[in-house]
Structure 1
């Protein structure tokens, strides 16, 4: 499962729109790792995913809370930002295992900070600067991730 897919997104609106496409591709299940430097748009993309399920309120970065839960139209979505995590074992205190189940979609920013405590990703998504826009590339890691990746290209 090593094929990499790519798309160029020229602005924030297209990033949010692609997030909605990710929502459709996941059907509310799976684990997606979001990689990229500070300011690349990981939270913007997550906002698009969460709104893609019909969430109407704000979507804020969980930088200080580590996780923001959303229940939208019967779907459980958990948005993690592990940037400020100093030790992966802190995730045990958060009850990390309770979030990752087959009935949830988990979006994880800065997954390297939780190494050893997080389950494997179904899809790894990398965001990089491309001119004024962004280039997104994604690599499936599981059979579920391959299904998601294929749907994102259709």
Structure 2
């Protein structure tokens, strides 16, 4: 995965296309932590991943639902948004530990809210606004 980074993305469609490319590097049990400001493109990246994994219906940010499960993807994709959560206890209350045991890819928006809840060896993508689009970099948790 490291070989895909750093990369400059100049549009929402390019972000989705990069998500599709990124999906080839992911497998069941992987955790992808997406770190970036509002409007950085976290959901667009997730949409590209989901579409490449077989999702045909809409993929939306789980800002209010906190988690969206896409069981029609192969492997399954579980998409979290921690933005509206107030504590790690709230994350545990929605079953975070159970999700970690699922045979799925977990994608987390706003993981920097509770970095202590991100397991070691999770894939972290930092998305930064630039004058011409977005700059994406990669690190392991």
Q: TM-score, normalised by structure 1?
A: 0.82
Give deviations 1:71-126, integer Å, cap 9, x for gaps.
Answer: 13542211111001111111121011111136211111111223333423521101
Q: Structure 1 stretch 70-79 or stretch 54-63: which is displaced more?
A: 70-79
TM-score under structure 2 normalisation? Answer: 0.89
Deviations 1:10-41 (CA, angstroms, capped at 9, x unpaired): 11111000001111110344011100111111
C-alpha contact 1:82 1:113 (8 A) present in aligned 2: yes
Contiguous gaps of at least 5 residues in structure 2: none
Residues 116 and 140 (structure 1), Cα distance of their counterparts in 2 relative to 1, 3 Å cut: closer
Q: Return closer, same or farther for 1:140/1:3 CA change in 2, 3 Å cut-off.
A: farther
C-alpha distance in 2, partners of 1:61/1:4? 24
Root-mean-square deviation (Å): 2.1
Partner of 2:115 in structure 1? Answer: 115
1:134 CA displacement? 0.9
1:84 matches 2:73: no
Quickly say closer, same or farther: Cα 1:3–1:47, change in 2 above 3 A: closer
Aligned length: 140
Question: Relative to 1, partners in 2 of residues 1:74 and 1:16: Cα closer, same or farther, differing over 3 Å?
Answer: closer
Q: Which moved more, 1:72-81 or 1:34-43?
A: 72-81
Moved over 4 A (4+): none
| Runs of at least 5 residues in structure 1 that lack an aligned partner in the other structure | 142-154
Provide the residue aligned with 2:136 in structure 1.
136
